[in-house]
Every structure is written in structure tokens, then in C-alpha cells.
Amino acid sequence: MANSSVVPRTAPIAIAPKPSNFNPRSRHGTPGINDVYAGGMNGNDSGDSDTPSSGSFLCAFCMRRKIKCVMSEDDDSSCVSCQANGVECSLNQSPQPLKRKLARDFVDDSGRGSPGRHDNRRLRQEAFSLSSTAASSSLIEDMANFGGPALLKRTLGLQNDRFSQYIGPTTDFEPSLINLSPFDPQDESLLARGTLRKVSDQDTFLLLPDSTAPHYDRQIEDVDEIERLVSPNGRNLIDLYFDVVHPSFPIIQKEVFLEKYERSYREFSPPLLAAVYLLAINWWDQSEDLSSQPRPNVKELERLMRSSLADAMWRPKLSTVQAGLLLSQRPEGDQWAPTAQLVAIAQELGLHLDCSHWKIPLWEKGLRKRLAWALYMQDKWGALVHGRPSHIFGSNWIVQPLLPGDFPEADYDEEDAEERLEIERGRTLFVQMVQLSQILAEILDTFYTLQAMQNVTNAGAQGIHLVLSLAKPIQLKLKEWYSSIPAVIRMDSSLSAMSSARLSSIGHIHLAYFATEITLHRRIIRSLAADEQAVDFYLLQICRSAAKARLISAMDFVNRLTPNHLRAFWYFASKTNFALIGTFGSLLWATSPGREEADWYQRRLAEYRWTLSVSSKPGEGKGLTMFAMGMLDISTGLLKKLPEKPELSRSGSTVEMDAGRRQSLLSMSMSGMRMEFQSGMASGDVSGAVSPGSQSDDSSDEMYETFAPTSGMASMRD
């Protein structure tokens, strides 16, 4: 990313014998901070006999938590876990209260670090407290910048004075030569071009000083101006962000963010601070503290955010990806080109890699995984709503699935049961959304790549059978995903309505599910319409009946949304997902074989537009559903130019008369839906006719089993 004028190229790396791996324990007889990360704090025993641990002596705190008890380097009567959590260790006969020290306690008034011998001991104690997922990152960042013990410089993507670049296997850095370079005990090797940082046997980064990047000198000026624009409401906006957005979109380390803000807003990267403010302003009118005050200059704030984000891309850090993802969640904030930039920055930072065994703190591993999967969702849903090829491919993506330990433990007050439930619900939603996005990615790869669409075209009259054979396993995955949704994020769950005063963000994942279903069935209906004369009548009826069931369920879902759903945080793709329901209805209207069915879709789309008009989300300018209304108006306007469709009398249809027994069975399986067709009920009244979990409709299984034989399809696909 840096040009030659910024980072000059140098002579080749000097080859030297590879030194033996440094082991902090062999030098001090005590575990280094990485040993705590790898074993002491997560319960994984390294198996080394010289690892200090309580052995048969297990303190009460570690016993309750069922974690390994590791003795402190400086205090033989107190374990690391108790020090990290600020509790008295039961192994200590004379326990002393442990007061957490912030980095500012070790910096003199002039801003220069001057830790003495006693201070270094306290710094080492603080290092151990950072080994849990919930630990604060800001302490490591601070100490890495004022000359504390080199062993504490463990962060990779969040140092205040340096940024990292992943060294790939084909660059001018030869991996085998890198391995021959001498690395110090901190896994760093200083070169004329920069500092090599080895995080694993396979993965190495180049660390460069921020000061070498363009416009670095504008950082303080930008962050001061950003804070001035929202003053004196900065803290209120931050609280609003963590209350509304953060629970279901946990890409920021809350404890770290709040701790840094309490010290100084200047510790933040300007684009990240501006992005948090910009997103929180959407709920300005819903805050009692803010609603009576004039809003900040949003246009100027957004200008500063975008310009400072462009500057930050020259020295990318994890905060750069955070800022870009948050900017994309704003109304009108999602654009396809910035998504491509974010993917490139993430690859620069190594977010596409498996960081499970890297020599970085556990909390950074969890943050990296959450950011990586948030970016994955941004890319896949962006590809859907923009109709573009995805930038992330499975062959270059080895990020491990999210686990409970990848989320910080200190995001909520343990004594506040409602807040704890809200955070846990948000994390469940985030994980489930990642899984749904993986199914969406499979649909896009299977049906909507240029090659995939050409394969169907080449199949000719057998194209619909090819589509159905490919759709069947994906439909089963969707069915399994929906049936296994945890109760806490189900629309009909009593837990989701526990507090009438709290906003609920679960709506966007259900909408995303319907958009995924629609994306699959759009391809089926489109294949049917390509050559209706060559398609078997029964196949046509069953496929259209299954599609109609999906449309009814999706419209019913939108009709059942409450103000607490609509005023909550919605994922960036939601406005287009609302529009896709109308687009799908328009497609079914356009491809209806007769006037009666076309008229039915026309009525239902009119009802859907009315539902959208009363569901506009306050606080976002044009509103959440206004975009969908506009697209629906465009679609229905185009449909007025359709040729007049013929009337199809059920009693007079020769095909149906010949169909007889088969059509009767189909009618029985779809009886609930047909009752709704005849009565013309409002969309809110169809929940009894078709379940919101539309995969339970038997027509889908019949469609795939009867008309999607797998024999011969593989060769056609290839």
C-alpha cells in the first residue's frame, strides 16, 4: 500500500542461522505472557513440567470457573486468574486488595513513560490481566508505546504507532529467507525496510511506523474536529450506540472503547469515532437526553469520517475495518466499491487467516474473528443487493467458526439479568446471521455466477431440472437452519418480547432468511419462464405454488413487525431485502399463466405497499421501508405494460381435466393457501394458512423429489 517514496526498498535480507526458539520460562523459570494465553487462562495444559501452577492446590475462584490455576510470577500465594479479575485468591493467607492500574498511572505529567523497578512489576501484573477475552486492549497499546517490557508488545492490529502488512507467499519476501532471519524474544526482526513480526511458523507481518504514511499529521486535527461537532453529546451518543447497535453487531470491544474514551477521545482513530457517532445519531430522537437538542452537522461529520478513513487506509489497523463496516450500516451508506476496499484492507491485516494459534492476546483473536465474519457478511449480502461478484472465496478463507469465547465477557453488568439476556441474544443473532450468510453464499455461487447461469442456458429444455437438482440440497440446509433457530431470536418467542420498552433487532435476521429463500426461488421461477411450453404442467404448478407460499410468509412477517422491531438496528441489506419481497411478487405476477392469478398478485402487492407505508422507521431520513416502496412502484409500473392475460377457467381447462388425480393431490396439499386466495384476506390474517417457517410447505419437497432427478445432472452441471 505504501509507495516507494514512503517506504524505500532495501538490499536483500541478510541470511543468518535461525536461532533456537526463545522460551521465556527457560530464562526466568516462570511462564511468559504467551504461555498464559495458550494454556493458563483457557484451560489448555502445555504439558511442561516447569509451568508454575497450583497442581493439587486449586483456588476457589478457578475451581468455580473450571479453569487452570496458574501462579503469579511475582506472588507465590496468588494466582493469575484472581489477579486478572481483581478478587482475593483463596491461596493467599494475607490477601491484599488488588487495584487495577491504568497505563496513565505510569506516565508522568510530561507524557513520557518512566517506569521504575516497582512499576515494571505492576506492569507485568497488568499483562496477565490482559490474557482473558474480556481484558482491555488499551493497556497493551499504551505500554507498547512508552517503553514498557518488550514482552508486552503483543498486539498486532491495534498498536498506536505502527501498522501491519501481511506478507503473502508470493511477495518479494521469500518465506524460507524470512525463517532464516534472526528474531528476538518478541518474535520481531528489525530490517531497513521495516520490522518483521512472526505470529506463527507460517504467518509473518511487516510492521511499519504510522509516521511514514501520508496525512498522518492530520490525525489529531481530525479527531478534535469530530469531537467538536458532537460536543457536548459525545458520551450520550456512545451510550446510545452500545445500547442499540452493539448487542447484535458486536465488532467493537466495548470495555476497551469506554475506557479509552474516559481517558481521552484522542486515543481513537478519527474514522472509527466518527462512525460510532454517525450511526448513533440515527436514534437521536429516541434518546431523552438528546431529542430536545439540535442535531450535529451530519454532513460535515460524514465528510470528516470519509476523508479520515481514506487517510487511515494508508496505515490500516483493525479500527479501519471497524469504521468501514459501521459506515456501511448507515442509510445510504452501503456502496459496493468501499466493500471491495474493506476486503483488501482485511487481507492486508490477515483477517482471512486462521489466527487461532497466533502469538497475540486471546482478546485480539476473538476480535479478529468477529471482524472477519462481519466482513464476510458484508461481502456476501453486498454481492446480493448490488448484483455483483463476491470478493471472498472459500479457497482463500480459513477463518474458524465463532465460539462463545470469541466474545468479550465484560460487555454487560452480571447483576442486570435483562441486559445480560439482550447481549446473549445479540451474540446468538450474530452467529446465526453468519451461518445464514454462508448458505446465501452457496446460492450465489451455485446459481448466480456467470458460469452457473451459462450452464443452465446450455442445458436447454433440461435447465429447470438442473436448477432443481442443485437447489434441493441448499433448500434442505435452509430448512435445517430455520428449524434450529434458538428460541431467544424467534419472532414468536416470549423471550423476544420480555421488555416492551427495549428495542429488538431480531427482525433483520428473519427478513434475511426470507430474502435468501426468495433468491433461491427467483432462479427457479426464472428458469420456468424461460421456456414454459417445454415445462411439464405439474412441475409448473408445484414450483409456482411453493414460490407463492414463500411470498405469503414473507409478507405476513412484515405485517407482524412491531414498533420495537422497526425502531431497532437493522442490518444494511434490510432495505433491499424488503424490496426483494415486492420484486418477487412482481415476478410471480408477470409470469402468471392466467388473469385470475395475476389479479391476485396485484392485490397482494397493493396490500404489501400499504404495510410498508405504515412501517417506515423513524430517525433514518427516508426511513427503512421507503426504498422498498419506491422499488415496488417501479416494478408495478412496468407490469402495467404487460399484455392482457387470458382467463383460465378451472372447469374448462383441458390440461387440468386430464391432470385429474394429480392436481387433486396438489390442491389438498395447498388447501390452506387456496382458502386465502379465495377470501382475499389481509396479509396479517394468513399466518394460519402458511407458517412463517415456509420450508414446512410440502410442495417444496414434492417439487425436488419428483422433478429433480439427480442422475445425469452432474455431467450437465460440469
φ and ψ of 392, to 5 deg: -105, 125
Check residue 500 and give its pLDDT.
54
Concatenated DSSP letters of 313-332: TTS--HHHHHHHHHHHTSTT
Greater model confidence, 586 or 177: 586
- Amino acid type, 650: R
All residues at 6 or more sequence positions from 430 whose CB lies less than 8 Å from its CB, including other chains: 248, 249, 250, 370, 373, 402
The single-letter DSSP state of residue 107 is B
Check residue 36 and give its pLDDT.
31
Check residue 158 and give its pLDDT.
85
Chain-centroid distance of CA 576 in Å reads 18
Greater model confidence, 176 or 369: 369
| pLDDT 10s digits, 394-447 | 999 999 999 999 998 766 666 777 778 888 999 999 999 999 999 999 999 999
Q: What percentage of the chain carries pLDDT values higher than 70?
A: 67
Grid cell of 575 as nine digits: 432495505
**Dihedral (C-alpha) 277, 278, 282, 287: value to the nearest 10 degrees?**
20
Candidate ranges 36-45, 638-647, 704-713; pick with highest mean pLDDT: 638-647
Among 282, 298, 348, 353, which residue's Cα sits nearest to residue 321? 348
Minimum mean pLDDT range among 39-53, 473-487, 634-648 = 39-53
State the pTM of this model.
0.74
Check residue 617 and give its pLDDT.
53
Minimum mean pLDDT range among 74-83, 109-118, 533-542, 607-616 = 109-118
- Amino acid type, 467: V
Find out whether 547 and 524 touch, Cβ atoms under 8 Å.
yes
Residue 666: is its pLDDT beyond 70? no
Find out whether 158 and 137 touch, Cβ atoms under 8 Å.
yes
Mean pLDDT of the region 660-678: 38
φ and ψ of 412, to 5 deg: -150, 165
Instruction: Match 465484560 to its residue by C-alpha cell.
Output: 410
Find out whether 505 and 250 touch, Cβ atoms under 8 Å.
no
Alpha-carbon distance of 313 to 444, in angstroms, equals 29
Q: Nearest 5 degrees, angle CA 544-CA 547-CA 552? A: 125
Find out whether 90 and 61 touch, Cβ atoms under 8 Å.
yes
Alpha-carbon distance of 22 to 17, in angstroms, equals 14
- Helix, strand, coil shares of the chain, percent, nearest 5, are 55, 5, 40
Q: How confident is the model at residue 17 (pLDDT cuts 50, 70, 90)?
A: very low
Rg (CA), the chain: 29
All residues at 6 or more sequence positions from 335 whose CB lies less than 8 Å from its CB, including other chains: 328
43: left (phi over 0), alpha (psi -120 to 50) or beta: left
Concatenated DSSP letters of 443-474: HHHHHSSHHHHHHHHHHGGGHHHHHHHHHHHH
Check residue 410 and give its pLDDT.
65
Question: What average pLDDT is seen over the chain?
Answer: 76
Q: Do β-strands 188-190 and 204-209 pair in parallel, antiparallel, or remain unpaired? A: unpaired
Residue 151: is its pLDDT beyond 50? no
Grid cell of 647 as nine digits: 382467463
Beta carbons within 10 angstroms of residue 452's beta carbon? 18
Check residue 84 and give its pLDDT.
57
The single-letter DSSP state of residue 94 is S
Residue 33: is its pLDDT beyond 90? no
Distance linking the first and last C-alpha atoms of the chain: 39
Buried b (16+ CB within 10 A) or exposed e, 631-664: bbeebbeebeeeeebeeeeeeeeeebeebeeebe
Among 687, 542, 677, 698, which residue's Cα sits nearest to residue 603? 677
Angle of helix 574-590 relative to helix 537-559, nearest 10 degrees, comes to 140
Check residue 649 and give its pLDDT.
57
**Dihedral (C-alpha) 272, 273, 274, 278: value to the nearest 10 degrees?**
100
Grid cell of 92 as nine digits: 493467599
Greater model confidence, 383 or 145: 383
For 201-281, where are the alpha helices, taking DSSP H only? Answer: 219-230, 234-244, 254-263, 270-280
Chain-centroid distance of CA 368 in Å reads 11
| pLDDT 10s digits, 83-122 | 655 567 776 644 344 333 333 333 333 333 333 434 443 4
Mean pLDDT of the region 27-56: 34
Beta carbons within 10 angstroms of residue 591's beta carbon? 18
Bridge partner residues of 391 (DSSP): none
